[in-house]
Amino acid sequence: MTNLEQSFDKRFSLQCSPSSFLMRFGSREIFVCRDFRQRHYRTNLMMECSTGVQAGHLEILVLRKWLVILSKARW
Protein backbone atom coordinates (compact mmCIF):
# COMPACT_ATOMS: atom_id res chain seq x y z
CA MET A 1 0.00 0.00 0.00
CA THR A 2 1.32 3.44 -0.87
CA ASN A 3 1.31 6.58 1.23
CA LEU A 4 1.57 9.90 -0.61
CA GLU A 5 3.33 12.04 1.98
CA GLN A 6 6.64 13.73 1.41
CA SER A 7 9.47 13.49 3.90
CA PHE A 8 12.07 15.65 2.14
CA ASP A 9 13.58 18.67 3.87
CA LYS A 10 12.66 22.19 2.76
CA ARG A 11 16.10 22.59 1.17
CA PHE A 12 15.26 19.70 -1.15
CA SER A 13 13.27 21.87 -3.59
CA LEU A 14 11.78 19.12 -5.76
CA GLN A 15 8.58 18.91 -3.69
CA CYS A 16 7.38 22.07 -5.49
CA SER A 17 7.60 20.44 -8.90
CA PRO A 18 4.14 20.44 -10.56
CA SER A 19 4.28 16.94 -12.04
CA SER A 20 5.69 14.92 -9.17
CA PHE A 21 4.51 12.10 -6.97
CA LEU A 22 5.84 10.05 -4.09
CA MET A 23 5.13 6.41 -3.31
CA ARG A 24 6.01 4.70 -0.06
CA PHE A 25 6.52 0.93 0.04
CA GLY A 26 7.15 -0.10 3.63
CA SER A 27 10.37 1.59 4.68
CA ARG A 28 11.33 2.80 1.18
CA GLU A 29 10.22 5.82 -0.85
CA ILE A 30 10.22 6.39 -4.59
CA PHE A 31 9.88 10.01 -5.70
CA VAL A 32 9.32 10.71 -9.44
CA CYS A 33 9.37 14.15 -11.07
CA ARG A 34 10.43 15.98 -14.20
CA ASP A 35 14.09 16.98 -14.09
CA PHE A 36 14.39 20.76 -14.19
CA ARG A 37 18.00 21.15 -13.03
CA GLN A 38 20.63 22.50 -15.37
CA ARG A 39 23.39 19.91 -15.66
CA HIS A 40 26.88 21.11 -16.57
CA TYR A 41 27.96 17.73 -17.89
CA ARG A 42 26.78 15.42 -20.63
CA THR A 43 24.39 12.76 -19.32
CA ASN A 44 23.79 9.29 -20.68
CA LEU A 45 20.77 9.14 -23.02
CA MET A 46 19.00 6.18 -21.39
CA MET A 47 19.86 6.21 -17.69
CA GLU A 48 22.21 8.12 -15.39
CA CYS A 49 22.73 7.22 -11.71
CA SER A 50 24.25 9.46 -9.04
CA THR A 51 24.10 10.21 -5.34
CA GLY A 52 21.27 12.47 -4.26
CA VAL A 53 21.14 15.97 -2.85
CA GLN A 54 20.54 14.58 0.63
CA ALA A 55 22.46 11.79 2.33
CA GLY A 56 21.04 8.34 1.64
CA HIS A 57 19.33 9.23 -1.65
CA LEU A 58 19.99 7.66 -5.04
CA GLU A 59 19.01 9.68 -8.13
CA ILE A 60 18.28 7.99 -11.43
CA LEU A 61 17.81 10.21 -14.46
CA VAL A 62 15.75 8.35 -17.06
CA LEU A 63 15.75 9.50 -20.72
CA ARG A 64 17.24 12.88 -19.62
CA LYS A 65 13.73 13.90 -18.60
CA TRP A 66 12.47 12.00 -15.55
CA LEU A 67 14.20 12.01 -12.19
CA VAL A 68 13.57 9.01 -9.93
CA ILE A 69 14.81 9.35 -6.34
CA LEU A 70 15.10 6.27 -4.14
CA SER A 71 15.38 6.82 -0.39
CA LYS A 72 14.62 5.38 3.00
CA ALA A 73 11.29 6.57 4.44
CA ARG A 74 11.33 8.80 7.50
CA TRP A 75 8.40 8.41 9.85
pLDDT tens for 40-61 read 888 888 999 988 778 888 999 9
The more confidently predicted of residues 13 and 38 is 38
Q: Catalogue the long-range contacts made by 19-26 (C-beta closer than 8 Å, 24 or more residues apart).
A: 24/73, 26/73
The more confidently predicted of residues 67 and 20 is 67
pTM confidence score: 0.67
The more confidently predicted of residues 69 and 5 is 69
